[in-house]
Each structure stands twice: as C-alpha cells, then as structure tokens.
Amino acid sequence: MAKKTIDITSKLTNDRPVLKLGEGLEFEVDNGKNTVLGMQEDGGLEQSLELLLGKEAVEKIEALNLSFENYLYVFFAACSAATGEDIKVIEARFQRGRQEV
C-alpha cells in the first residue's frame, strides 16, 4: 500500500499582515507562532502590542492619545492580523472574558 502524502505547501506562507491606522501609520504585524504564543505568557495590552508590532510602532500609537475603546480596537485588529481570525470574533471573546471577571 502506497503512503498518502498531504501537501500543504501552498497554505504555508511567511507573509506578514499590515495594520493601517491612517496615512503614514502602517505597521507590519509579527504573526509568528512564537510571538502569538508569547502574548499569552507576557500578558497586558501594551506588552502584547509591542510583541506584535514592535516598540517603535507602539510609541507612535501611544502618541495618538486614543481613547481606551479605540486602543482596544487597535489591539483587536493586531490580534486579528496575527491569528487570521475575524476581528469580531476576537472582540467578542475579549468581551466574554471581561464579563467573567
């Protein structure tokens, strides 16, 4: 009996998504496995955003002085870009988690 080969090479990429917050404010998102899993260990919005976007990008976002609601949405968008999940799914998961606390 011949071995069955499952070829997934066309599904695997190293493409990095880009998060755009406005003109001149585009940040590449690190969607690597180690980064995304590291978010769960480090905790905190700022630390997670820094893992995903880098320190310079977070400094630029901080300079925008966004409302907390808008800052959360930036976080959700970065998580969506990193994980490939729909932003609404991430937002709903976060809201459920807040209700449980």
Domain boundaries, the chain: 18-100
- The residue type found at 75 is F
Q: Is the overall model pTM greater than 0.85, yes or no?
A: no
Nearest Cα to Cα of residue 21 among 72, 77, 91, 84: 77
Residue 4, pLDDT score: 81
Residue 29, pLDDT score: 92
Report how far residue 76's alpha carbon sits from residue 35's, in angstroms, rounded to the nearest whole number. Answer: 15
- 38 alpha-carbon distance from chain centroid: 12
Phi/psi of residue 7, nearest 5 degrees:
-95, 115
Q: What band does 100 get if pLDDT is binned at 50, 70 and 90? A: low
In the block, residue with structure tokens 């997670």: 48
Contact between 74 and 66 (Cβ < 8 Å): yes
Residue 43, pLDDT score: 63
Q: Looking at the predicted structure, is the pLDDT value of residue 17 above 60? A: yes
